[in-house]
Structure 1
Amino acid sequence: MTEEKGKRVEIAPDENVRDRQRPQGVNVLRELGDRVILQFNNQTIVESNDAPRMHRGARNVYYEDLSGGRRREIVERDNGIQIVTIRNRYGDVIQRSRITPEGREYILSYVDERNYEDDGDWRDPGDDLPPMRLNIPRRDYILDSEDVEDEGDYYTFLEQPPVEKVQRLYSIDEVKRSARVRDIARRVDLDTLNFEFGSASISDEEVQKLDGVANAMEKLLKKNPAETFLIEGHTDAVGTPEANLALSDRRAEAVAEALTNAFGIPPENLTTQGYGEEYLKVDTSGPNRENRRVAIRRITSLVAPVASSEN
């Protein structure tokens, strides 16, 4: 991650997501605060900036330009740990590692850029996969937190491998953008975590409901410090689709913040994405608490080379 020589950027790059370079055919529909709504290939997504989470508590952050329009970000923490992230010209995370003061590198995500077949397009890598066939019971594929009787169930569920063979490594952003690829990983639905209508804030009482899943994450991270968890935000169908995308993204970010601040889960092991009203759990156009939810997937096998080779 650090061997390639880069050119130091003295001024931090503009972190306004609206100003990012994007592939041809990607259009900005709306800017909602610090979120941008994009449209491409008949898909609408929300894009945000994870820098505030990654930089919190850092003693130093600097950037280096690399060949091919890539940029390397180095976050140095007070304990000597470095978080090194390489993004391509469009801001997609293609590599991320945690490097200890002793020089040991844990690869959190890595993708071979040659898998981006057309450099001028964002394509769905799920198009290369056959239709999904789930040959296990639903309860073994989706864990509803309201059905959890023992907190150890979270760990037992999350430690299981993907439900089908991983064909190749994907970038974190490819996983976020592809429903078919995400569905390879099992899902925990945090049904017991309540969001008020139109709100992304979590009360202290609600934060405590994350205790079980946070303990499972901590246990998994002790075995493999390079685990990556995707936190998905969802809304009900009240309001405009664009506003719901931004709201759901803030909900996912709020859960990630709570997992870090209250339970000590490192921010680099968490990635977030909002999906708005696209995947309703209860098919209704009215207000519904079950649709205002967050889900968690362990996506390590999709984005990290060592984990992928083991499954």
Structure 2
Amino acid sequence: MATQGAERLEDVRGRREERREGDVTIIREPGRTIIRDDDRTIIRRDETQRFRELGLEARTERRGDENRTIFERPDGTRIVTVTDEEGRLIRRTRLDRDGREVVIIDNTRRDRPRDRFSDEIVVLERPALRIPRERYIVDAERADEDLIYETIVAPPLAPLPRRYTLDEVRYSPDLRAQMRSVDIDSVTFETGSWDVAPGQAQRLSIIADSIRRALQRSPNEVFLVEGHTDAVGSDIDNLSLSDRRAQSVAEILTKDFGVPPENLTTQGYGEQYLKVNTQDAARENRRVTLRRITPLLAGQGN
């Protein structure tokens, strides 16, 4: 999974295509598009691919300049993902068997059109920590389920001035910093790989249990799975690796532990956020992080 036709990093490299559009560099590779704008680089993916790789039946309809992909479960529930012509997620909803619709993610831009992805970056004052740092970023390997659950359902550290789009959350570290997170350091990766070893996959059970417990309380929560790498290798390779690592973990949470895929979204950050500050190879940096982002999308205060 998380491959989109590429099994190894060498496959990804060999199939990259690069072009310039004005002062923006576009790099396309299997299942991903990397965009470099000024001094910032982001990665985007086909927002329907994770659902397809999980084997859900799908059909896609074209409506104007949008694509509407419907995934139907055996129980009749339908997950509708709306993307634009470039594959950017616009909206994700769930329809029950009676056709009642619930919006899970609304990524509609609510003001002027954005010409650059850097326009999505929100700058906020970092909130003062009123809890010990080890309870702000919790290491899953040393935490029990109660602490993990407490962390992922905790409110924002400070009141939020408005609601934010998913893109703003993905690309704004100040915004994500408003929410506590769980470093899933119980699952790490081999150099150059996005595969989760079978022996490590079972370690995600405590994370999945906490997510399902949160969804019992509020079934429309959204959790961001963030992928990371160490500092070895090129920034483009690391961005691609990290994004695929996040998707691999999200797929296991659904396939092995029953977490609904519509409640998860993924994003890779490459080597931007090292856990261990070293330029050398470090397994601790090849990891994923989980945080609940529903309050950011809904504009909820603390």
Q: Give TM class, smaller chain.
A: 0.7 to 0.9
Contact 1:57/1:77 (<8 A) preserved = no
The equivalent of 2:180 in structure 1 is 186
The equivalent of 1:221 in structure 2 is 215
Distance 1:309 1:135, change over 3 A: closer
Q: Deviations over 1:153-198 (max 9, x none)?
A: 2111111111122222222222212222222221110112121122
Give the alignment partner of residue 39 of structure 1, picking from 36, 41, 48. 36
Give me the TM-score of the superposition, normalised by structure 2: 0.85
Residue 107 of structure 1 aligns with an amino acid whose one-letter code is: V
TM alignment of 1:116-131, pairs within 5 A: 117-127=112-122, 129-131=123-125
Contact 1:233/1:252 (<8 A) preserved = yes
Deviates more, 1:41-50 or 1:152-161: 41-50
Distance 1:24 1:263, change over 3 A: farther
The equivalent of 1:48 in structure 2 is 45
Distance in 1, matches of 2:58 and 2:43, equals 29
The equivalent of 1:268 in structure 2 is 262
Q: Deviations over 1:111-143 (max 9, x none)?
A: 45333x23433344444x432132323123211
Contact 1:94/1:171 (<8 A) preserved = no
Distance in 2, matches of 1:112 and 1:288, equals 38
Distance in 1, matches of 2:213 and 2:180, equals 18
Distance in 2, matches of 1:142 and 1:58, equals 34
Give the alignment partner of residue 97 of structure 2, picking from 95, 101, 110. 101
Give the alignment partner of residue 205 of structure 1, picking from 172, 186, 199. 199
The equivalent of 1:248 in structure 2 is 242
Distance in 2, matches of 1:225 and 1:130, equals 29
Residue 68 of structure 2 aligns with an amino acid whose one-letter code is: R
Aligned-residue offset at 1:276? 0.8
Distance in 2, matches of 1:52 and 1:86, equals 13
Query: Please, which runs of 5 or more residues in structure 1 have no aligned partner?
Result: 1-17
Contact 2:48/2:69 (<8 A) preserved = no
Q: Deviations over 1:258-300 (max 9, x none)?
A: 1011101111111111111111111111110111111011111
Distance in 2, matches of 1:179 and 1:23, equals 26
Give the alignment partner of residue 160 of structure 1, picking from 130, 134, 154. 154
Runs of 4+ off more than 3 Å: 22-26, 30-33, 88-91, 123-127, 308-311
Query: Please, which runs of 5 or more residues in structure 2 have no aligned partner?
Result: 1-15
Contact 1:60/1:77 (<8 A) preserved = no
Contact 1:92/1:171 (<8 A) preserved = no
Distance in 2, matches of 1:227 and 1:23, equals 37
The equivalent of 2:138 in structure 1 is 143
The equivalent of 1:27 in structure 2 is 25
Contact 2:160/2:301 (<8 A) preserved = no
The equivalent of 1:15 in structure 2 is none
TM alignment of 1:55-134, pairs within 5 A: 55=52, 56-66=54-64, 69-115=65-111, 117-127=112-122, 129-134=123-128
Distance in 2, matches of 1:120 and 1:203, equals 41
Aligned-residue offset at 1:59? 3.0
Distance in 2, matches of 1:170 and 1:86, equals 18
Give me the TM-score of the superposition, normalised by structure 1: 0.83
Deviates more, 1:225-234 or 1:93-102: 93-102
Contact 1:58/1:78 (<8 A) preserved = no
Contact 2:95/2:101 (<8 A) preserved = yes
Contact 2:59/2:69 (<8 A) preserved = yes
- SS of the aligned residue for 1:202 comes to coil
Distance in 1, matches of 2:30 and 2:234, equals 15
Identity of aligned residues (%): 40
Distance 1:138 1:224, change over 3 A: same
